[in-house]
Chains A and B, each alone.
Chain A
Amino acid sequence: MSKINFLKPDKSNLYTFLYLGTFLFFVSVLDVLLNSFFSLNITGFLPSFLSFLLPLIIGFIGLYFIRIELSGIKQLDLLNKHINTNNFNAVLSLLIIFIILKSIPPILSWFFVDASFAGDSKDVCTGSGACWTYIKVWIRRFMYGMYPNAEQWRINLSFISLALLGSVGYFATDRFKKYLTLYYVIIYPFIAFLFIFFFISGGPVFFDFSYGIIAAILSIILGFFIPNKFKFYYFLIVPFALYILLKYFIFYEELIELGKLDGLNWVETGAWGGLSLTFIISFFCLIFCFPIGMAFALGRRSGFPLIRYISIGFIEFWRGVPLITVLFMSAVMFPMFLPADFFIDKLVRCIIAISLFEAAYVAEVIRGGLQALPRGQYEAAKSLGMGYWRMHIFVILPQALKLVIPGIANTFLALVKDTPLIFVVGLLEIVGMLNLAKTNPEWLGFAMEGYVFAAIIFWIICYAMSKYSYNLEEKYKTDR
């Protein structure tokens, strides 16, 4: 057996170094583990400074011993390659392992072990952990704001049916695929609008909503008998015509009677709130900001100088100011710009302000896509005799939008994350409701639980959105 040189681990004494290094490494991890999980300090007899640093030193020596290149053991090589390439990396790896080990017990105990789940009053929250009872008691306020408890099924029903209607695209057969764009761009937002303004806000106008449903179903059924050539114009005109026909000419008298019988209770928008308001605002702003942004992106690249300058001015103005001042403007300045007897609902003003604001960002993103397209695409489309609109709708925009999916997804994410700012105009979505609940004298001192709860919800929404956009990007990726 050759002499062991401790300063230079090598392959000839592979197993000596391997066992020694692994042993030292596990001793150091075990020390931290015992310390954090059982608050047992096995090196307590040493001076506190040394006992604090000891696991790091032992672990470092252990990792140094097992750093043997091309050892022939698969797992060891993998370990060395990934966390143990040199001394510096070894120290960082050890530090991260220790931080994770140290932070797991307090987090676990705060979240689960010491937390209180049962009961429905503050008295059960005596432990040092989180008080999830607080969330349980206030959950309706966090989800629905001040919306009356008895009416909350309306919000649930609307969201569930909208989600179902929205998922139609997944189940559509090839025969219906070609109508999907039309459905998502025109019909679906229209149905969503009917749901939210006539079902969630309620009142006798509820029956407008049923006319809408009847008109939509009738026009879809009739749509199968219309030749393809006219289908676009058909869906553009007939549903609205049917709706007006139904409302003012056919069922008018009878349904007025019905509306008097049992309409839904009117819930003013000031009472809306919580997570459902976050969804409503995000949804509408998303729908509105996209076409506006697209129009300004095209305007900014237009050949007409006046249109171009107006577009540039619009985009740069909204991009230059913070959203909070825009909301301030919509709250205090905008009413001054309208006739005295003309009143626009707070929520609607908010949606307009956020849509215009985000539209400027969407416009810049889409402009990036338009600029990235090679000139050949424009020239090819023109040489086929296409005009401006046909060229953009059938050739340019489909390619440009495909290119900017990540950018648009980021803008939409920013939109969702910006919704809490509506506290400026006095609307309280989930973060606003948390701040309100925090000041309730019966439930003081549970701010942490509330914010953690909201953070988890927002994180799930945003993370899911970013993953979905990544999938879309992969799906529509075309080689150029």
Chain B
Amino acid sequence: MNFKLKDIGPQLITVLAVVLVFGFFTYNAQVNMENRGIDFGYGFLSQESSFDVQFSLIEYDGSHSYFRAYLVGLLNTILVSVIGIILATILGVIVGIARLSPNYLINKFAAFYVEFFRNIPLLLQIFFWYFAALRALPLPQDAEPLLGVTFLTIKGYFVPAFIWQNFNIFFYSLVAAIIAIIVIRTHAKKVQETQGKQTPVLLISIGLLLILPLLSFLIGGVKLSFEVPVLKQLATTSFIYEGGVSLPPELIALALSLSLYTATFIAECVRAGIQGVGKGQKEAAASIGLTPNQVLKLVIMPQALRIIIPPTTNQYLNLTKNSSLAAAIAYPDLVLVFAGTALMQTGKAIEIVSITMFTYLSLSISISILMNWYNKKIAIQEK
């Protein structure tokens, strides 16, 4: 053991400073809470919340606990993030590929899209869609049906609801199909590595995904019917659609702006990834007789994905964090329901803000751990 004062000194000072700052904060917090007569504790989570949330995925009303309100907010956050991630990925990949197109017009159009949407603050875009663009939609009674049975109105987007019978059988058939596909894929890979034979994995996978659920309809007794929204008069001038599923305008505005904004960043990731694969790789693959489809599938994409996936995951994380802007347009997400309404009612600032931050923190840390693991797995093993 050789302790050196030179090594210990700076560390000791830093730790001391951190401890002092935290100690100062905790001491003040204790004094302040004592003065105001607030007690610290998480017991309020089981109390009755007595406020209503306008849009929730699980059953909820004022008689449920604060913990349930927290769950409602969390689920709404996850819902808008998942919708946003799916839309942003589709749009981002299309625009990213369009940016590499040899066609001058497509190229410039995609570049214009990227430059336009990423240089305007996200909050402004959310406000624009919610307060300006969606307010121009027709009232429920004037709405023209879209795709026959759906209605896009100022009060939200009304779509038919799925009514399932024996949904669990359908679900099991889907799971079975996915497991079968995974097994076939690993088998095909093994066959290719040992015998060099290619198996049409894609065709088999699509076939399985179609046939197994279809069988569940024919044999398993699964039935699917639709509940179409119907216009109903509430008062002389007030109409609403009943039945079906209604997507509130807040959700639409939020998902739309989040995906339009994040797609620009994903597009740049995709472009960088594909450009990052050397030209020589393509030429080498072509020279050993692979077809253009095989070149793309076996040579370009595996290498491009290695570059694309880490920054894209980062963008997904950003999208999830940005979904907290929902509070600005009153979409009942975690921040609005829990850090807004619940905080106002209970006054438990420290507890509620810390729970909210911890939720986001654990979300992003778990994704970064997953990312690090993935990066290690796909990293090029150099000899």
Give the complex CA separation of A106 and B131 in angstroms: 20
Please name all residues of chain B whose beta carbon is closer than 8 Å to the beta carbon of A340 when the two chains form the complex. Answer: 28, 31-32, 35
Contact residues, B358-372 vs A (CB, 8 A): 360-361, 363-365, 368
Q: Which residues of A contact B131 (CB under 8 A)?
A: 435, 438, 447, 451
The residues of A that contact B283 with a CB separation of less than 8 Å are: none
Given that A310-B15, A316-B365 are contacting pairs, would A322 and B324 also be in contact in the complex, using a CB cutoff of 8 Å?
A: yes
CB proximity of B53 to chain A, nearest CB, Å = 19
Which A residues are in CB contact (< 8 Å) with B11?
304-307
Q: A307-B10, A431-B124 are in contact. Are A321 and B31 (CB under 8 A)?
A: no
Within 8 A of B (CB), among A408-466: 413, 416-421, 423-424, 431, 434-435, 438, 447-448, 451-452, 454-455, 458-459, 462-463, 466
In the assembled complex, which residues on chain B have CB atoms less than 8 Å from the CB atom of A317? 361
In the bound assembly, the distance between CA atoms of A240 and B300 in angstroms comes to 60
Render A328-340 as a binary contact track against B, CB cut-off 8 A, 1 for contact: 1100110111111
User: Do residues A307 and B325 form an inter-chain contact, with CB atoms below 8 A?
Assistant: no
Residues of B within 8 A of A339 (CB): 28, 31
Query: Nearest Cβ in chain B — how far from A63, in angstroms?
Result: 12
Residues A455 and B124 in contact, CB atoms below 8 Å apart:
yes
A44 at the interface (CB under 8 A from B): no
Closest to A278 in B: B121
A304-B10 contact given A96-B106, A339-B28, CB 8 Å threshold: yes
Closest B residue, CB atoms, query A449: B132
Asked whether B25 lies within 8 Å of A325 as measured between CB atoms, the reply is: no
**B3 CB–A CB distance under 8 Å:** no
C-beta contact mask, B60-103 vs A, less than 8 Å → 1, else 0?
A: 00000000000000000000000000000000000000000111
CB distance from A274 to the nearest CB of B (A): 14
Q: Knowing A83-B104, A336-B32, A455-B128 are in contact, say whether A431-B121 is a contact too (CB < 8 A).
A: yes
A454 close to B124 (CB less than 8 A): yes
Q: How many residues of A contact B (CB 8 A)?
A: 57
Q: Quick one: closest B residue to A299, CB to CB?
A: B14
Chain A residues with CB below 8 A from B124, complex form: 420, 431, 451, 454-455, 458
Number of A-B contacts (CB under 8 A): 152
B121 cross-chain contacts in A, Cβ below 8 A: 416-420, 431, 458
Q: How far is the CA of A459 from the CA of B118 in the complex (A)?
A: 9
* Contact among B25, B120, B328 for A458, CB-based, below 8 A: B120
Q: A324 contacts B335, CB within 8 Å?
A: yes
* B290: min CB distance to chain A, Å: 21
| A8, CB-defined interface residue at 8 Å | no
B353 at the interface (CB under 8 A from A): yes
For residue A92, CB closer than 8 A to chain B, the reply is yes
**Which residues of chain B are within 8 angstroms of A89 by Cβ–Cβ distance?**
101-103, 106
CA distance A307 to B7 in the complex (A): 11
Binding site for A on B (CB under 8 A): 7, 10-11, 14-15, 18, 24-25, 28-29, 31-33, 35, 101-106, 109, 115-116, 118-125, 127-128, 131-133, 135, 321-322, 324-325, 327-328, 335, 339, 343, 349-350, 353, 356-357, 360-361, 363-365, 368
Residues of A within 8 A of B (CB): 81-83, 85, 89, 92-93, 96-97, 304-307, 310, 316-317, 319-325, 328-329, 332-333, 335-340, 413, 416-421, 423-424, 431, 434-435, 438, 447-448, 451-452, 454-455, 458-459, 462-463, 466
9 nearest A-B pairs in the assembled complex, by CB-CB distance: A462-B119, A82-B104, A322-B321, A337-B25, A320-B361, A417-B121, A320-B364, A322-B324, A448-B132
A317-B361, A322-B335, A322-B360 known, 9 other contacts, Cβ within 8 Å: A92-B103, A336-B32, A337-B25, A340-B28, A340-B32, A417-B122, A419-B121, A459-B119, A462-B118
